[in-house]
């Protein structure tokens, strides 16, 4: 079934659940490690702290990647939220709040795929999903962490850098990763593996 077909099978198969769970758990571990990297690199961005948000997009990859691979309603939200839960269980430095953050990010990406009725998974849609996940993350951070900071010198720049990072790393990065996985044949049971030219 290609993404252009009028009928879209919205039901989840067992293999969909398994693969989505694998993506989510794997990125939950990545999230936890990325938190350590974030802390370790803070000193490198003392010249302009908002610039550290160039790293942010990695935390949004499972939302876009999950949707590109599974292509079913709820995949973006499921992968991002479960990854956040796993990272919290592993001992994220931000605690359980990352679960709420993962929810905001996953909903952002999910809304983009919903807007196209889960029928298109091309690069522009993936970039938009990355941007929406980034918006969810940036808005959450503005409320939860950055309210005391200066608007012009910190809050606006970090908002913009977060969204741009999401577009590049989560949006374009997920497309590249999906294509790489499809090329190995591991996605042959999914439309993403069969319709490689349309990803």
Convert the pLDDT of each residue in 74-117 to its tens digit: 999 999 999 999 999 999 999 999 999 999 999 999 999 999 99
- Whether 191 has a pLDDT exceeding 90, the answer reads no
Structural contact between residues 183 and 159, judged by C-beta atoms closer than 8 angstroms: no
- The radius of gyration of the chain's CA atoms, rounded to the nearest angstrom, is 17
Confidence of residue 199 (pLDDT cuts 50, 70, 90): low
pLDDT recorded at residue 3: 44
**Per-residue pLDDT averaged across 134-144, rounded?**
97
Mean pLDDT of 5-29: 88
Domain holding 120, by residue range, is 14-198
Mean pLDDT value of segment 31-37: 97
Q: What is the model's pLDDT at position 9?
A: 74
pLDDT at residue number 182: 92
- Is 5 inside any structural domain? no
- 2 within some domain: no
Burial 35-51 (b: 16+ CB within 10 A, else e): beebeeeeeeeeeeebe
Tokens linked to 71: 């292509």
**Residue 31 pLDDT > 70:** yes
**What does the pLDDT read at residue 2?**
44
Q: What is the pLDDT of residue 8?
A: 65
Residue 197: pLDDT over 50 = no
Q: Report the pLDDT averaged over residues 52-75.
A: 98
Check pLDDT > 50 for residue 6: no
Q: Tokens 């795929």, residue?
A: 113
Tell me how far apart the alpha carbons of residues 1 and 6 are, in angstroms, rounded to a whole number.
10
172/109 Cα distance (integer angstroms): 13
pLDDT of residue 170: 98
Establish if 125 belongs to a structural domain. Answer: yes
Helices and strands per DSSP (H, E), number in the chain: 8, 0
Split into its structural domains, the chain has a count of 1
DSSP state of 145: T
Please report how the helices 173-184 and 123-144 are oriented relative to each other, as an axis angle in degrees rounded to 10: 130
The rounded distance, in Å, linking the Cα atoms of 69 and 144 is 31
Residue 57 is given by DSSP the state G
Q: How far is CA 196 from the centre of its chain?
A: 20
Whole-model pTM? 0.91
Average of pLDDT values for 16-45?
97
Mean pLDDT of 164-181: 97
Does any domain span residue 42?
A: yes
Separation between Cα atoms, residue 126 and residue 109, nearest integer Å: 9
φ/ψ of 52, rounded to 5, equals -65, -20
Q: How high does pLDDT run on average in the chain?
A: 93
Does residue 1 form part of some domain? no
């Amino acid at each position: 079934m290609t993404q252009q077909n009028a009928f879209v099978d919205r039901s989840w198969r067992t293999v969909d659940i398994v693969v989505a769970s694998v993506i989510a758990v794997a990125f939950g571990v990545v999230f936890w490690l990325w938190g350590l990297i974030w802390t370790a690199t803070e000193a490198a961005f003392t010249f302009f702290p908002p610039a550290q948000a160039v790293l942010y997009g990695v935390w949004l990859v499972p939302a876009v990647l999950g949707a590109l691979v599974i292509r079913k309603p709820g995949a973006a939200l499921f992968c991002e939220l479960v990854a956040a839960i796993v990272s919290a269980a592993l001992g994220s430095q931000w605690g359980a709040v990352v679960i709420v953050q993962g929810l905001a990010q996953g909903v952002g990406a999910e809304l983009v795929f919903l807007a196209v009725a889960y029928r298109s998974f091309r690069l522009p849609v993936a970039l938009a999903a990355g941007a929406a996940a980034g918006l969810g993350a940036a808005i959450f951070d503005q409320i939860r962490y950055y309210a005391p900071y200066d608007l012009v010198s910190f809050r606006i720049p970090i908002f913009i850098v977060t969204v741009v990072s999401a577009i590049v790393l989560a949006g374009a990065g997920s497309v590249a990763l999906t294509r790489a996985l499809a090329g190995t044949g591991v996605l042959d049971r999914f439309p993403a593996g069969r319709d490689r030219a349309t990803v």
